[in-house]
Structure 1
Amino acid sequence: MGVLSQLSKAQLPADPGRSMIPLIGDTFNIQSPNGNHVCLVTSPARMSLSNAKNGSWISLFQLEVARALAAQLVIAVRFMHSQGFVHGDLHRGNVLLQLSWKFDRLSTEELYEQYGEPVLEPVNRVDGQQIPLGVPQHGISPIWLGDASENITLPEARILLSDFGKTFSPTQEDQFESHTPLLIRPPEARFEPSNPLSFPSDIWTLACTIFDVIAQKSLFEGSFTNDTDMTCQQIDTLGRLPDEWWGKWEAREEKLIEDGETRSRYPSLEDRFEKSVQQARTRKGMPGIQSSEQEALLSMLRRMLSFRPEDRPSAKQILESELMVKWALPEYAKIKECSGIGAT
């Protein structure tokens, strides 16, 4: 609550990143057998980027939408970092699409007509006994406000960051454990466990999330992967580990064919891009990315995915990259023109 409260009250009205943090409309407490629970009231969102891709047969956003989403992700992270906070759990499941301003103007009758009336689900005990006092007799199924990723239009592609449960301030506390999913966990969490995480850890996960938004599949894959497999994927995709990390990787002799190449032979960053972005879009009749934009994108991602955290650019520097200036930010500017959002 404290982090979200500070971010939502930040006195930076001209910063568009401020509009990508949920506002706290109210708070209240619920006393239960498990203790006192502080509840936050925020504006509803439409769906997460994961919901959009999972609800699609092709798992792709239109190119202009993907560009605008990438720009907003960087803007939102830059805003958080400017306020002294690391998000700590950045992935597409924690990036939400905002609802249209028209949603708040719907009457109850119009809401039910457009989305259907609430569906009540009875609450039952497993043992068949009577529900105790204080427990609702019914639950309400969540309403689905989303759509498949390819159907999201540019004006609809406005994001909100969510889930600040792992957010921390590096200047106020030392955080050594990364809580991001293993597939996008920054490598310093494994190879430099005695060094506290900081803003560059968000940059690594931001790069993975941007690739995930632009591509059909994630940059790194695996349902039942482990730390060793992740290191193999990272080496094949990005290149050799820093010298000081080789000695810390116990499986290197077993997994390496030669210096810088593993027995697993995962695809390189360029090969992953060709298969999951260019070929995937061509197969679905969607335009691919031109060579100049591709070079700018891969260059930006490689810098963000530097193994050493100190070699990664800041969010502010990413916004100044060629990819952002020439392609991503102009698409976001079109959204701002429609919605009246302030300048960057």
Structure 2
Amino acid sequence: MPSSESFDFYRKVEDNFVVNGPNGTHMFIVYAFAGPSVRAISKSPENRRLRADLAKKIAAQASSALQRIHHAGFIHGDFTTSNFLFRLTDDVHKWSDDEVYFQLESPETDAVQMLNGQPIGPQVPSEVTEAIDPFIFFENDLLQESIVVVDFGQSYAASEPPKDYKPRTMINYMSPEARFEGRVGPESDVWTLGCAIFEIRAGFPLFDPFFPSDAVILTKIVGTLGRLPDPWWNVFKNRHLFEEDGRPKTNGIAVTPSIRELLQSIGTRDEILDSDGGSMFEQTETRIDGTEVDLLVDLLEKMLRYRPEDRIGVDEVVNHSWFKV
């Protein structure tokens, strides 16, 4: 696992400037160009996932980054795979404009039109540009096997938590105390890191946000992790689907797989693809061996305990045996 003292996990601000326009005055902050997020992989309809060794490497880097954040006295507040960006190879930073268009293809644009047919005003852009396909970077081996952590908009000093703080992380990553009590702390970061480690290794989210409602996500969490502790159980809207001990009712919902069952399912639902997608991806139908499953279940169950005081801290995470298998 990389040493947290020897690895730079964060993008530095390179420039900033202010623009006065029709929508007001805005400050722009300039960072170095980075690649797609880790989450882009799990959003792929082709069920790709990182090579096993690379998944552990990226998970280790994310864990070390969070350790440094906590040791510095800060809470990240939104530590998800959306905020882990792959670094680009050195050659990409040297591209000319022509090379950018050659490698990434010309951008697709479309004119902006008003629904009522009226001309657009100065506050609206004249056209929109489609985002770059993130898999171009993977397929052409334009990425380093390392990440940077971004988006500190929800971060704060642990010694001075904001009085009006409102958690705004993705609902399938939100910890129980953030969801029910509106509070976050280092333990909440550990919960989100646990969700991230699962997604990095599995190639799909632990709590699938396909139907992105709080009630559905929470039902999946209870189905996977068991009964919520009191008093949270009493305000769980879908508890009627479960017995009082947290077991799903046989005529209520389909039984949600446990973490172990989800890990054991990896490789069983892969599509056979025409292209391997690049050297960073695992071969299709590759399963996780039993030893790794046992260790990863042990790690994740300790990180995803409902009560924040029962979770392990990030120091225990980075020293866990799963990273060494």
Tell me the TM-score normalized by structure 2. 0.81
Kindly state the Cα deviation for residue 31 of structure 1 after the two structures are TM-superposed.
Answer: 1.1
Q: Is the 8 A contact 2:110 2:129 kept in 1?
A: yes
RMSD of aligned residue pairs (Cα, Å): 3.2
**Partner residue, 1:288:** 287
Q: Is the 8 A contact 1:303 1:313 kept in 2?
A: yes
Mapped to 1, the partners of 2:14 and 2:104 lie a distance apart of 24
Q: Compared with structure 1, are the counterparts of its residues 155 and 138 closer, same or farther at alpha carbon in structure 2 (3 Å cutoff)?
A: closer
Kindly state the Cα deviation for residue 83 of structure 1 after the two structures are TM-superposed.
Answer: 1.9
Task: Report whether the alignment pairs 1:242 with 2:229.
Answer: yes
Mapped to 1, the partners of 2:149 and 2:51 lie a distance apart of 21
**Partner residue, 2:247:** 261
Q: Compared with structure 1, are the counterparts of its residues 145 and 197 closer, same or farther at alpha carbon in structure 2 (3 Å cutoff)?
A: closer
Q: Compared with structure 1, are the counterparts of its residues 119 and 220 closer, same or farther at alpha carbon in structure 2 (3 Å cutoff)?
A: closer
Gaps of 5+ in 2: 273-282
Mapped to 2, the partners of 1:241 and 1:131 lie a distance apart of 51
Q: Is the 8 A contact 2:191 2:304 kept in 1?
A: yes
Mapped to 2, the partners of 1:143 and 1:192 lie a distance apart of 38
Q: Compared with structure 1, are the counterparts of its residues 154 and 314 closer, same or farther at alpha carbon in structure 2 (3 Å cutoff)?
A: farther
Letter in 2 for 1:202: D
**Partner residue, 2:304:** 305
**Partner residue, 2:192:** 205
**Partner residue, 1:229:** 216
**Partner residue, 1:104:** 93
User: Which moves more between the two structures, 220-229 or 40-49?
Assistant: 220-229
SS at match of 1:160: strand
Q: Compared with structure 1, are the counterparts of its residues 282 and 302 closer, same or farther at alpha carbon in structure 2 (3 Å cutoff)?
A: farther
Mapped to 1, the partners of 2:92 and 2:201 lie a distance apart of 28
**Partner residue, 2:260:** 270
Gaps of 5+ in 1: 1-12, 328-344
Please point out which of 145, 152, 158 is paired with 1:164.
152
Q: Is the 8 A contact 1:125 1:131 kept in 2?
A: no
Kindly state the Cα deviation for residue 101 of structure 1 after the two structures are TM-superposed.
Answer: 1.2
Q: Deviations over 1:243-298 (max 9, x none)?
A: 4544454653x2322412123332222122222x2534698644322222211111
Letter in 1 for 2:32: S
Kindly state the Cα deviation for residue 305 of structure 1 after the two structures are TM-superposed.
Answer: 0.2
Q: Is the 8 A contact 1:66 1:214 kept in 2?
A: yes
Q: Percent identity?
A: 28
Tell me the TM-score normalized by structure 1. 0.77
Q: Compared with structure 1, are the counterparts of its residues 135 and 248 closer, same or farther at alpha carbon in structure 2 (3 Å cutoff)?
A: closer
Q: Is the 8 A contact 2:42 2:205 kept in 1?
A: no
